[in-house]
Amino acid sequence: MMVKNKRIPYYFGIALFIIEVSFGIWMAHWNHFVPGDAVSRVANAYYVLFSHDPHLGAIGFVWNPLPSLLMIPILLLTPLCKALASEGIAGIILTSLFAAFTAVLLFKSLLRRKQPFLFSFAIVLLFSFNPFLFLYGANGMSEMLFIYFIMFCVIAFVDWMDEKRSVASMIMIGFALALAFLTRYESILFGAALALSLLIIIWSKRNKEEAAVYGITYTYNKWEASEWLALLPVIYTGIIWIVLNWVIMGDGLFFLRSNYSNLAQSEGLSKNPTIGPVIGHYGATLLFVLERSIPFLLPLLTILMIRIIRRRVFSAGFLCLILLVLSIPVMQIYMLDKGASYGWLRFFVYPFVITLAWLPYELQKLKEQAKHLYILGGCVTLILLSASAYATGYAMNNERLAPEEYQAIHYNQSPTYFSNRLSLHIADDLDQLLHKHKHASLLVDSFNGFQIILDMKQTNQLIITSDLDFKKKLNNPVKEKVTYILIPKPEGVATLNAVNEHYKNFYYKGADFAKLDKTYDDQWRLYRVVNPEKGKR
Protein backbone atom coordinates (compact mmCIF):
# COMPACT_ATOMS: atom_id res chain seq x y z
CA MET A 1 0.00 0.00 0.00
CA MET A 2 2.90 2.34 0.80
CA VAL A 3 4.38 1.85 -2.72
CA LYS A 4 1.03 2.67 -4.28
CA ASN A 5 0.68 5.73 -2.06
CA LYS A 6 4.02 7.02 -3.30
CA ARG A 7 2.70 6.97 -6.86
CA ILE A 8 -0.65 8.56 -6.13
CA PRO A 9 0.70 12.17 -5.81
CA TYR A 10 1.89 11.87 -9.41
CA TYR A 11 -1.45 10.47 -10.57
CA PHE A 12 -3.16 13.35 -8.78
CA GLY A 13 -0.80 15.80 -10.50
CA ILE A 14 -1.61 14.36 -13.93
CA ALA A 15 -5.35 14.54 -13.24
CA LEU A 16 -5.05 18.11 -11.96
CA PHE A 17 -3.07 19.14 -15.05
CA ILE A 18 -5.79 17.75 -17.34
CA ILE A 19 -8.55 19.52 -15.38
CA GLU A 20 -6.67 22.84 -15.24
CA VAL A 21 -5.69 22.90 -18.90
CA SER A 22 -9.22 21.88 -19.97
CA PHE A 23 -10.74 24.69 -17.94
CA GLY A 24 -8.17 27.19 -19.25
CA ILE A 25 -8.79 26.25 -22.89
CA TRP A 26 -12.54 26.43 -22.33
CA MET A 27 -12.19 29.96 -20.98
CA ALA A 28 -9.78 31.09 -23.71
CA HIS A 29 -11.21 29.40 -26.81
CA TRP A 30 -14.93 29.21 -26.17
CA ASN A 31 -15.41 32.19 -23.87
CA HIS A 32 -12.71 34.42 -25.46
CA PHE A 33 -11.37 35.46 -22.07
CA VAL A 34 -7.65 35.51 -21.25
CA PRO A 35 -6.09 38.09 -18.89
CA GLY A 36 -4.09 40.71 -20.75
CA ASP A 37 -0.96 40.16 -18.62
CA ALA A 38 -1.05 36.44 -19.43
CA VAL A 39 -1.26 37.06 -23.18
CA SER A 40 1.49 39.68 -22.90
CA ARG A 41 3.90 37.06 -21.54
CA VAL A 42 2.96 34.69 -24.37
CA ALA A 43 3.57 37.52 -26.83
CA ASN A 44 7.08 38.12 -25.45
CA ALA A 45 7.94 34.49 -26.19
CA TYR A 46 6.22 34.68 -29.59
CA TYR A 47 8.37 37.64 -30.73
CA VAL A 48 11.51 35.57 -30.09
CA LEU A 49 10.39 33.04 -32.70
CA PHE A 50 8.00 34.67 -35.15
CA SER A 51 8.45 38.45 -35.31
CA HIS A 52 9.86 40.33 -38.31
CA ASP A 53 13.17 40.52 -36.42
CA PRO A 54 13.36 37.35 -34.25
CA HIS A 55 16.03 37.32 -31.51
CA LEU A 56 16.20 36.28 -27.86
CA GLY A 57 16.31 39.90 -26.67
CA ALA A 58 12.78 40.29 -28.05
CA ILE A 59 11.58 38.58 -24.88
CA GLY A 60 11.69 42.01 -23.26
CA PHE A 61 13.25 43.56 -20.18
CA VAL A 62 10.29 44.69 -18.08
CA TRP A 63 8.54 41.43 -17.17
CA ASN A 64 10.68 38.80 -15.44
CA PRO A 65 11.75 36.51 -18.29
CA LEU A 66 11.34 32.95 -16.97
CA PRO A 67 7.61 32.40 -17.76
CA SER A 68 8.11 33.56 -21.36
CA LEU A 69 11.33 31.53 -21.72
CA LEU A 70 9.50 28.38 -20.64
CA MET A 71 6.75 29.04 -23.20
CA ILE A 72 9.16 29.12 -26.16
CA PRO A 73 9.28 25.30 -26.62
CA ILE A 74 5.46 25.18 -26.55
CA LEU A 75 5.19 28.01 -29.08
CA LEU A 76 7.38 26.12 -31.56
CA LEU A 77 4.12 24.34 -32.41
CA THR A 78 2.35 27.62 -33.32
CA PRO A 79 2.51 26.94 -37.09
CA LEU A 80 0.39 23.85 -36.39
CA CYS A 81 -1.92 25.53 -33.86
CA LYS A 82 -2.20 29.33 -34.00
CA ALA A 83 -4.34 29.37 -30.83
CA LEU A 84 -1.25 28.51 -28.76
CA ALA A 85 -0.24 32.14 -29.24
CA SER A 86 -3.40 34.05 -30.19
CA GLU A 87 -5.51 32.64 -27.34
CA GLY A 88 -2.68 32.41 -24.82
CA ILE A 89 -2.96 28.63 -24.61
CA ALA A 90 0.82 28.25 -24.33
CA GLY A 91 0.61 30.15 -21.05
CA ILE A 92 -2.34 28.06 -19.90
CA ILE A 93 -0.38 24.85 -20.51
CA LEU A 94 2.55 26.24 -18.52
CA THR A 95 0.54 27.33 -15.49
CA SER A 96 -1.42 24.07 -15.51
CA LEU A 97 1.89 22.19 -15.36
CA PHE A 98 3.05 24.25 -12.39
CA ALA A 99 -0.29 23.83 -10.62
CA ALA A 100 0.29 20.08 -10.91
CA PHE A 101 3.93 20.38 -9.77
CA THR A 102 2.84 22.39 -6.72
CA ALA A 103 0.17 19.88 -5.73
CA VAL A 104 2.62 16.99 -6.05
CA LEU A 105 5.22 18.87 -4.00
CA LEU A 106 2.75 19.49 -1.16
CA PHE A 107 1.36 15.96 -1.31
CA LYS A 108 4.83 14.40 -1.07
CA SER A 109 5.78 16.71 1.79
CA LEU A 110 2.72 15.62 3.78
CA LEU A 111 3.38 11.92 3.21
CA ARG A 112 7.07 12.31 4.03
CA ARG A 113 6.03 13.98 7.29
CA LYS A 114 4.05 10.83 8.18
CA GLN A 115 0.56 12.25 7.68
CA PRO A 116 -2.28 9.77 7.00
CA PHE A 117 -2.89 9.30 3.31
CA LEU A 118 -6.56 10.33 3.22
CA PHE A 119 -5.85 13.35 5.42
CA SER A 120 -3.00 14.40 3.12
CA PHE A 121 -5.20 13.90 0.09
CA ALA A 122 -7.91 16.10 1.62
CA ILE A 123 -5.43 18.92 2.32
CA VAL A 124 -4.03 18.82 -1.21
CA LEU A 125 -7.54 18.71 -2.64
CA LEU A 126 -8.60 21.79 -0.65
CA PHE A 127 -5.39 23.56 -1.66
CA SER A 128 -5.53 22.75 -5.38
CA PHE A 129 -9.24 23.46 -5.74
CA ASN A 130 -9.26 26.61 -3.68
CA PRO A 131 -11.06 28.92 -6.17
CA PHE A 132 -8.10 31.30 -6.41
CA LEU A 133 -5.43 28.60 -6.82
CA PHE A 134 -7.55 26.75 -9.36
CA LEU A 135 -8.18 29.87 -11.46
CA TYR A 136 -4.52 30.88 -11.48
CA GLY A 137 -3.50 27.37 -12.40
CA ALA A 138 -5.48 27.78 -15.62
CA ASN A 139 -5.15 31.42 -16.70
CA GLY A 140 -1.56 31.73 -17.93
CA MET A 141 -0.43 34.30 -15.34
CA SER A 142 2.96 34.11 -13.61
CA GLU A 143 1.55 33.64 -10.09
CA MET A 144 1.39 29.84 -10.22
CA LEU A 145 5.05 29.55 -11.19
CA PHE A 146 6.00 31.86 -8.34
CA ILE A 147 3.79 29.90 -5.94
CA TYR A 148 5.66 26.70 -6.84
CA PHE A 149 9.09 28.23 -6.22
CA ILE A 150 7.94 29.85 -2.97
CA MET A 151 6.54 26.53 -1.72
CA PHE A 152 9.75 24.77 -2.74
CA CYS A 153 11.83 27.31 -0.76
CA VAL A 154 9.72 27.00 2.39
CA ILE A 155 9.67 23.19 2.36
CA ALA A 156 13.45 23.13 1.86
CA PHE A 157 13.91 25.67 4.67
CA VAL A 158 11.79 23.61 7.08
CA ASP A 159 13.75 20.47 6.12
CA TRP A 160 17.01 22.33 6.78
CA MET A 161 15.70 23.57 10.12
CA ASP A 162 14.52 20.09 11.15
CA GLU A 163 17.32 17.92 9.75
CA LYS A 164 20.40 19.45 11.36
CA ARG A 165 20.74 22.13 8.69
CA SER A 166 21.79 20.00 5.69
CA VAL A 167 23.76 21.55 2.82
CA ALA A 168 21.45 19.96 0.22
CA SER A 169 18.48 21.97 1.53
CA MET A 170 20.46 25.20 1.29
CA ILE A 171 21.40 24.45 -2.32
CA MET A 172 17.75 23.76 -3.21
CA ILE A 173 16.68 27.01 -1.54
CA GLY A 174 19.31 28.90 -3.53
CA PHE A 175 18.21 27.69 -6.94
CA ALA A 176 14.48 27.92 -6.15
CA LEU A 177 14.95 31.52 -4.98
CA ALA A 178 16.88 32.39 -8.15
CA LEU A 179 14.08 30.96 -10.30
CA ALA A 180 11.53 32.85 -8.19
CA PHE A 181 13.40 36.09 -8.96
CA LEU A 182 13.24 35.31 -12.66
CA THR A 183 9.47 34.95 -12.25
CA ARG A 184 8.38 37.86 -10.01
CA TYR A 185 10.12 40.72 -8.20
CA GLU A 186 8.32 39.97 -4.92
CA SER A 187 11.04 37.37 -4.44
CA ILE A 188 13.36 40.16 -3.25
CA LEU A 189 11.40 40.77 -0.02
CA PHE A 190 10.76 37.07 0.43
CA GLY A 191 14.48 36.38 0.00
CA ALA A 192 15.34 39.03 2.60
CA ALA A 193 12.94 37.39 5.09
CA LEU A 194 14.49 34.01 4.31
CA ALA A 195 18.01 35.36 4.92
CA LEU A 196 16.94 36.81 8.28
CA SER A 197 15.24 33.51 9.17
CA LEU A 198 18.50 31.63 8.55
CA LEU A 199 20.27 33.93 10.99
CA ILE A 200 17.55 33.45 13.63
CA ILE A 201 17.64 29.65 13.41
CA ILE A 202 21.44 29.39 13.43
CA TRP A 203 21.72 31.72 16.42
CA SER A 204 18.91 29.97 18.35
CA LYS A 205 20.41 26.52 17.76
CA ARG A 206 24.04 27.42 18.31
CA ASN A 207 25.98 24.85 20.31
CA LYS A 208 27.08 26.49 23.54
CA GLU A 209 29.89 23.97 24.05
CA GLU A 210 31.28 24.66 20.57
CA ALA A 211 30.94 28.39 21.19
CA ALA A 212 32.91 28.04 24.41
CA VAL A 213 35.75 26.30 22.56
CA TYR A 214 35.76 28.17 19.25
CA GLY A 215 34.10 31.44 20.25
CA ILE A 216 31.48 33.51 18.47
CA THR A 217 33.44 33.18 15.21
CA TYR A 218 32.27 29.57 14.85
CA THR A 219 28.59 30.53 14.84
CA TYR A 220 29.31 33.44 12.50
CA ASN A 221 31.10 31.16 10.03
CA LYS A 222 28.17 28.71 9.99
CA TRP A 223 25.75 31.58 9.39
CA GLU A 224 27.92 33.08 6.64
CA ALA A 225 28.28 29.74 4.84
CA SER A 226 24.54 29.10 4.98
CA GLU A 227 23.69 32.57 3.70
CA TRP A 228 26.07 32.27 0.78
CA LEU A 229 24.68 28.88 -0.20
CA ALA A 230 21.10 30.16 -0.09
CA LEU A 231 21.59 33.61 -1.60
CA LEU A 232 24.49 33.35 -4.04
CA PRO A 233 22.40 31.95 -6.94
CA VAL A 234 19.81 34.74 -6.68
CA ILE A 235 22.53 37.40 -6.27
CA TYR A 236 24.26 36.19 -9.44
CA THR A 237 20.90 36.01 -11.23
CA GLY A 238 20.09 39.59 -10.22
CA ILE A 239 23.50 40.83 -11.39
CA ILE A 240 23.12 39.06 -14.75
CA TRP A 241 19.64 40.57 -15.20
CA ILE A 242 20.96 44.07 -14.47
CA VAL A 243 23.94 43.58 -16.81
CA LEU A 244 21.67 42.37 -19.62
CA ASN A 245 19.42 45.40 -19.13
CA TRP A 246 22.47 47.67 -19.28
CA VAL A 247 24.12 46.02 -22.32
CA ILE A 248 20.97 45.63 -24.43
CA MET A 249 18.71 48.46 -23.27
CA GLY A 250 21.36 50.96 -22.15
CA ASP A 251 20.10 51.12 -18.55
CA GLY A 252 20.83 48.53 -15.87
CA LEU A 253 17.55 49.40 -14.15
CA PHE A 254 15.48 49.54 -17.35
CA PHE A 255 13.06 47.00 -15.85
CA LEU A 256 12.45 49.40 -12.96
CA ARG A 257 12.32 52.84 -14.57
CA SER A 258 11.56 52.40 -18.26
CA ASN A 259 8.50 53.88 -19.92
CA TYR A 260 6.81 50.48 -19.68
CA SER A 261 7.77 49.61 -16.08
CA ASN A 262 5.37 49.01 -13.21
CA LEU A 263 6.28 52.40 -11.75
CA ALA A 264 5.46 54.15 -15.02
CA GLN A 265 2.15 52.30 -15.32
CA SER A 266 1.27 53.25 -11.73
CA GLU A 267 1.70 56.99 -12.16
CA GLY A 268 -2.01 57.61 -12.68
CA LEU A 269 -3.16 55.62 -9.64
CA SER A 270 -3.89 58.76 -7.62
CA LYS A 271 -7.03 59.13 -9.79
CA ASN A 272 -8.07 55.51 -9.26
CA PRO A 273 -11.26 55.43 -7.12
CA THR A 274 -10.05 52.34 -5.19
CA ILE A 275 -6.32 53.03 -4.81
CA GLY A 276 -6.39 56.84 -4.74
CA PRO A 277 -7.82 57.16 -1.18
CA VAL A 278 -5.20 54.69 0.11
CA ILE A 279 -2.12 56.53 -1.15
CA GLY A 280 -0.27 58.36 1.62
CA HIS A 281 -2.57 57.08 4.39
CA TYR A 282 -1.08 54.24 6.44
CA GLY A 283 -4.34 53.45 8.24
CA ALA A 284 -6.26 53.10 4.99
CA THR A 285 -3.39 51.12 3.48
CA LEU A 286 -3.30 48.64 6.37
CA LEU A 287 -7.08 48.18 6.19
CA PHE A 288 -6.88 47.67 2.41
CA VAL A 289 -4.20 44.96 2.79
CA LEU A 290 -5.89 43.25 5.75
CA GLU A 291 -9.27 43.10 4.01
CA ARG A 292 -7.78 41.29 1.01
CA SER A 293 -5.45 39.10 3.08
CA ILE A 294 -7.99 37.61 5.51
CA PRO A 295 -9.15 34.75 3.20
CA PHE A 296 -5.52 33.70 2.74
CA LEU A 297 -4.53 34.02 6.42
CA LEU A 298 -7.12 31.62 7.87
CA PRO A 299 -4.88 28.50 7.67
CA LEU A 300 -2.27 30.35 9.71
CA LEU A 301 -4.67 30.01 12.67
CA THR A 302 -4.14 26.24 12.46
CA ILE A 303 -0.41 26.61 13.02
CA LEU A 304 -1.02 29.13 15.81
CA MET A 305 -3.34 26.63 17.53
CA ILE A 306 -0.78 23.84 17.13
CA ARG A 307 1.94 26.06 18.57
CA ILE A 308 -0.27 26.92 21.54
CA ILE A 309 -0.93 23.22 22.18
CA ARG A 310 2.79 22.48 21.96
CA ARG A 311 3.65 25.61 23.99
CA ARG A 312 6.00 26.73 21.22
CA VAL A 313 4.51 30.08 20.25
CA PHE A 314 7.50 32.08 21.44
CA SER A 315 10.14 30.21 19.48
CA ALA A 316 12.59 30.91 16.68
CA GLY A 317 10.73 28.70 14.20
CA PHE A 318 7.39 30.45 14.67
CA LEU A 319 9.10 33.85 14.39
CA CYS A 320 10.60 32.74 11.05
CA LEU A 321 7.18 31.67 9.79
CA ILE A 322 5.71 35.07 10.68
CA LEU A 323 8.60 36.84 8.92
CA LEU A 324 8.07 34.80 5.76
CA VAL A 325 4.28 35.25 5.84
CA LEU A 326 4.55 39.03 6.28
CA SER A 327 7.40 39.65 3.81
CA ILE A 328 5.37 40.18 0.63
CA PRO A 329 2.38 41.93 2.32
CA VAL A 330 4.84 44.41 3.87
CA MET A 331 6.14 45.15 0.37
CA GLN A 332 2.56 45.74 -0.77
CA ILE A 333 1.88 48.07 2.17
CA TYR A 334 4.87 50.18 1.17
CA MET A 335 4.00 50.20 -2.54
CA LEU A 336 0.33 51.00 -1.95
CA ASP A 337 1.22 53.85 0.37
CA LYS A 338 3.52 55.26 -2.32
CA GLY A 339 0.98 54.74 -5.10
CA ALA A 340 3.12 52.15 -6.89
CA SER A 341 0.77 49.13 -6.79
CA TYR A 342 -2.66 48.32 -8.17
CA GLY A 343 -3.39 46.18 -5.11
CA TRP A 344 -4.79 43.23 -7.06
CA LEU A 345 -6.04 40.31 -4.97
CA ARG A 346 -3.33 38.07 -6.44
CA PHE A 347 -0.66 40.07 -4.58
CA PHE A 348 -1.98 38.76 -1.24
CA VAL A 349 -2.15 35.00 -1.86
CA TYR A 350 1.44 34.19 -0.83
CA PRO A 351 0.85 33.92 2.96
CA PHE A 352 -1.57 31.09 2.15
CA VAL A 353 1.07 29.26 0.12
CA ILE A 354 3.81 29.77 2.74
CA THR A 355 1.50 28.53 5.49
CA LEU A 356 0.53 25.38 3.56
CA ALA A 357 4.19 24.65 2.78
CA TRP A 358 5.03 24.94 6.50
CA LEU A 359 1.96 22.98 7.70
CA PRO A 360 3.27 19.38 7.23
CA TYR A 361 6.14 20.13 9.64
CA GLU A 362 3.75 21.47 12.30
CA LEU A 363 1.36 18.53 11.95
CA GLN A 364 4.23 16.06 12.31
CA LYS A 365 5.48 17.77 15.48
CA LEU A 366 1.95 17.81 16.94
CA LYS A 367 1.53 14.12 16.16
CA GLU A 368 4.82 13.28 17.88
CA GLN A 369 4.24 15.48 20.94
CA ALA A 370 0.47 15.41 21.56
CA LYS A 371 -1.09 12.41 19.83
CA HIS A 372 -4.35 12.80 21.74
CA LEU A 373 -4.79 16.29 20.28
CA TYR A 374 -3.58 15.44 16.76
CA ILE A 375 -7.08 14.55 15.54
CA LEU A 376 -8.34 17.92 16.79
CA GLY A 377 -5.52 19.67 14.91
CA GLY A 378 -6.37 17.75 11.74
CA CYS A 379 -10.06 18.65 11.98
CA VAL A 380 -9.28 22.32 12.53
CA THR A 381 -6.92 22.24 9.54
CA LEU A 382 -9.61 20.94 7.20
CA ILE A 383 -12.24 23.33 8.58
CA LEU A 384 -10.01 26.38 8.14
CA LEU A 385 -8.93 25.32 4.64
CA SER A 386 -12.59 24.93 3.71
CA ALA A 387 -13.37 28.32 5.26
CA SER A 388 -10.49 29.85 3.32
CA ALA A 389 -11.85 28.39 0.07
CA TYR A 390 -15.29 29.85 0.78
CA ALA A 391 -13.91 33.26 1.82
CA THR A 392 -11.65 33.38 -1.24
CA GLY A 393 -14.54 32.54 -3.56
CA TYR A 394 -16.64 35.25 -1.90
CA ALA A 395 -13.87 37.85 -2.32
CA MET A 396 -13.34 36.86 -5.95
CA ASN A 397 -16.99 37.55 -6.68
CA ASN A 398 -16.73 41.05 -5.19
CA GLU A 399 -15.75 43.61 -7.84
CA ARG A 400 -14.33 46.03 -5.27
CA LEU A 401 -12.08 43.47 -3.58
CA ALA A 402 -11.06 41.50 -6.66
CA PRO A 403 -11.70 43.32 -9.96
CA GLU A 404 -9.52 40.94 -12.01
CA GLU A 405 -11.09 37.77 -10.63
CA TYR A 406 -14.57 39.29 -10.86
CA GLN A 407 -13.94 39.85 -14.56
CA ALA A 408 -12.97 36.20 -14.98
CA ILE A 409 -16.17 35.04 -13.27
CA HIS A 410 -18.37 37.51 -15.21
CA TYR A 411 -16.24 37.28 -18.36
CA ASN A 412 -18.95 38.11 -20.90
CA GLN A 413 -19.51 41.48 -19.20
CA SER A 414 -15.83 42.32 -18.77
CA PRO A 415 -13.75 44.94 -20.62
CA THR A 416 -11.17 42.20 -21.31
CA TYR A 417 -13.72 40.16 -23.24
CA PHE A 418 -14.74 43.12 -25.41
CA SER A 419 -11.11 44.15 -25.87
CA ASN A 420 -10.20 40.64 -27.06
CA ARG A 421 -13.09 40.60 -29.52
CA LEU A 422 -12.12 44.04 -30.85
CA SER A 423 -8.49 42.93 -31.22
CA LEU A 424 -9.60 39.95 -33.31
CA HIS A 425 -11.67 42.24 -35.55
CA ILE A 426 -8.75 44.67 -36.01
CA ALA A 427 -6.36 41.79 -36.74
CA ASP A 428 -8.66 40.39 -39.44
CA ASP A 429 -9.03 43.80 -41.05
CA LEU A 430 -5.27 44.48 -41.00
CA ASP A 431 -4.53 41.02 -42.40
CA GLN A 432 -6.75 41.76 -45.40
CA LEU A 433 -5.12 45.16 -45.87
CA LEU A 434 -1.53 43.85 -45.70
CA HIS A 435 -2.33 40.82 -47.84
CA LYS A 436 -3.67 43.19 -50.48
CA HIS A 437 -0.58 45.43 -50.24
CA LYS A 438 2.27 42.90 -50.10
CA HIS A 439 5.01 45.53 -49.74
CA ALA A 440 3.25 47.60 -47.07
CA SER A 441 4.51 47.73 -43.47
CA LEU A 442 2.65 48.51 -40.25
CA LEU A 443 4.25 50.02 -37.14
CA VAL A 444 2.62 49.18 -33.79
CA ASP A 445 3.91 49.35 -30.22
CA SER A 446 3.52 45.81 -28.85
CA PHE A 447 3.14 47.21 -25.32
CA ASN A 448 -0.53 47.80 -26.12
CA GLY A 449 -0.95 45.89 -29.38
CA PHE A 450 0.24 42.43 -28.32
CA GLN A 451 -3.21 40.82 -28.66
CA ILE A 452 -3.67 42.25 -32.17
CA ILE A 453 -0.19 41.05 -33.17
CA LEU A 454 -0.86 37.51 -31.92
CA ASP A 455 -4.21 37.42 -33.76
CA MET A 456 -2.65 38.46 -37.07
CA LYS A 457 -1.29 36.22 -39.83
CA GLN A 458 0.73 38.83 -41.76
CA THR A 459 3.23 39.34 -38.92
CA ASN A 460 6.21 39.55 -41.30
CA GLN A 461 4.94 42.97 -42.38
CA LEU A 462 4.76 44.34 -38.84
CA ILE A 463 7.28 46.64 -37.18
CA ILE A 464 7.04 46.06 -33.42
CA THR A 465 8.79 47.36 -30.32
CA SER A 466 11.29 44.50 -30.04
CA ASP A 467 12.59 45.03 -33.61
CA LEU A 468 16.10 46.47 -33.57
CA ASP A 469 15.10 49.22 -36.01
CA PHE A 470 11.81 50.15 -34.26
CA LYS A 471 13.07 53.45 -32.82
CA LYS A 472 14.64 54.50 -36.11
CA LYS A 473 11.40 53.86 -37.99
CA LEU A 474 9.32 55.55 -35.29
CA ASN A 475 11.52 58.66 -35.42
CA ASN A 476 11.36 58.99 -39.20
CA PRO A 477 8.53 56.89 -40.68
CA VAL A 478 8.61 58.67 -44.06
CA LYS A 479 12.33 58.15 -44.67
CA GLU A 480 12.17 54.57 -43.38
CA LYS A 481 9.22 53.82 -45.68
CA VAL A 482 6.68 52.86 -43.02
CA THR A 483 3.24 52.49 -44.66
CA TYR A 484 0.84 52.47 -41.69
CA ILE A 485 0.87 53.32 -37.99
CA LEU A 486 -1.59 51.75 -35.54
CA ILE A 487 -2.18 53.64 -32.30
CA PRO A 488 -4.46 53.18 -29.25
CA LYS A 489 -6.57 55.91 -27.68
CA PRO A 490 -4.33 57.64 -25.11
CA GLU A 491 -6.21 56.60 -21.97
CA GLY A 492 -4.75 54.85 -18.91
CA VAL A 493 -1.57 52.90 -19.68
CA ALA A 494 -2.10 53.57 -23.41
CA THR A 495 -0.62 57.03 -22.77
CA LEU A 496 2.72 55.20 -22.41
CA ASN A 497 2.46 53.86 -25.97
CA ALA A 498 5.63 54.77 -27.91
CA VAL A 499 3.70 56.59 -30.66
CA ASN A 500 1.64 58.55 -28.14
CA GLU A 501 4.82 59.43 -26.26
CA HIS A 502 6.81 60.47 -29.32
CA TYR A 503 4.11 62.36 -31.24
CA LYS A 504 1.87 64.37 -28.94
CA ASN A 505 -1.87 64.30 -29.74
CA PHE A 506 -1.19 61.91 -32.63
CA TYR A 507 -4.30 59.80 -31.99
CA TYR A 508 -6.67 62.75 -32.41
CA LYS A 509 -4.89 64.94 -34.99
CA GLY A 510 -2.34 62.73 -36.70
CA ALA A 511 0.62 64.60 -38.21
CA ASP A 512 1.66 66.24 -41.44
CA PHE A 513 3.09 62.88 -42.53
CA ALA A 514 0.15 60.74 -41.31
CA LYS A 515 -3.46 60.80 -42.49
CA LEU A 516 -6.31 58.98 -40.77
CA ASP A 517 -7.24 55.81 -42.61
CA LYS A 518 -9.63 54.05 -40.21
CA THR A 519 -11.00 54.16 -36.65
CA TYR A 520 -11.81 51.01 -34.70
CA ASP A 521 -14.56 51.51 -32.13
CA ASP A 522 -12.97 54.79 -30.98
CA GLN A 523 -10.24 52.72 -29.28
CA TRP A 524 -7.66 52.32 -32.06
CA ARG A 525 -6.82 54.37 -35.13
CA LEU A 526 -4.94 53.41 -38.26
CA TYR A 527 -2.93 56.17 -39.93
CA ARG A 528 -1.44 56.01 -43.41
CA VAL A 529 2.01 57.51 -43.76
CA VAL A 530 2.36 60.07 -46.59
CA ASN A 531 5.26 62.21 -47.78
CA PRO A 532 4.45 65.82 -46.78
CA GLU A 533 6.97 67.18 -49.29
CA LYS A 534 5.11 65.58 -52.19
CA GLY A 535 1.88 67.02 -50.88
CA LYS A 536 3.32 70.55 -51.07
CA ARG A 537 4.23 70.12 -54.70
pLDDT tens, position by position, 365-403: 999 999 999 999 999 999 999 999 999 999 999 999 999
Weakest mean pLDDT among 81-90, 163-172, 417-426: 163-172
In the predicted structure, residue 429 carries a pLDDT above the cut 60:
yes
pLDDT of the residue at 216: 59
Highest mean pLDDT among 56-65, 378-387, 500-509: 378-387
Q: What's the CA angle centered on 327, arms 134 and 121, to 5 degrees?
A: 35
- The pLDDT of 96-114, averaged and rounded, is 97
30 secondary structure, DSSP code: I
pLDDT of the residue at 437: 94
The pLDDT tens digits for 277-287 are: 999 999 999 99
The pLDDT tens digits for 320-352 are: 999 999 999 999 999 999 999 999 999 999 999
Weakest mean pLDDT among 249-263, 354-368, 422-436, 501-515: 249-263
Percentage of the chain exceeding pLDDT 70 = 95
- The pLDDT of 60-84, averaged and rounded, is 96
- The pLDDT of 212-220, averaged and rounded, is 57
**CA separation, residue 368 to residues 56, 109, 119, 433, 442 (Å):** 52, 16, 16, 72, 68
Mean of all residue pLDDT scores within the chain: 92
- The pLDDT of 429-438, averaged and rounded, is 96
- The one-letter amino acid code at 422 reads L
pLDDT of the residue at 296: 98
Q: Is 463 helix (H, G, I), strand (E, B) or coil?
A: strand
Q: pLDDT tier at 265 (50, 70, 90 boundaries)?
A: confident
- The pLDDT of 106-125, averaged and rounded, is 96
pTM: 0.94
In the predicted structure, residue 536 carries a pLDDT above the cut 50:
no
pLDDT of the residue at 209: 47
- The pLDDT of 293-317, averaged and rounded, is 95
pLDDT of the residue at 204: 84
Higher pLDDT, 406 or 165: 406
Q: pLDDT tier at 309 (50, 70, 90 boundaries)?
A: very high
In the predicted structure, residue 163 carries a pLDDT above the cut 80:
no
- The pLDDT of 466-479, averaged and rounded, is 94
- The pLDDT of 445-456, averaged and rounded, is 96
The pLDDT tens digits for 21-39 are: 999 999 999 999 999 999 9
**CA separation, residue 68 to residues 39, 47, 187, 291, 488 (Å):** 10, 10, 18, 32, 25
- The pLDDT of 259-276, averaged and rounded, is 84
Q: For the residues of 398-445, what is the DSSP string, one character each?
A: -TTT-HHHHHHHTGGGSHHHHHHHHHHHHHHHHHHHHHHSTT--EEE-
The H or E element that residue 198 is part of is helix 187-204
In the predicted structure, residue 193 carries a pLDDT above the cut 80:
yes
Strand partners, 488: 524
Maximum separation of any 2 CA atoms in the chain, in Å = 96
Q: Is the Cβ–Cβ distance between 71 and 94 less than 8 Å? A: yes
In the predicted structure, residue 176 carries a pLDDT above the cut 90:
yes
- The pLDDT of 124-147, averaged and rounded, is 98
10 Å CB burial of residue 96 (0-12, 13-18, 19+) is buried
Nearest to 278 by CA among 338, 213, 202, 199: 338
pLDDT of the residue at 3: 43
- The pLDDT of 154-167, averaged and rounded, is 86
Q: pLDDT tier at 208 (50, 70, 90 boundaries)?
A: low
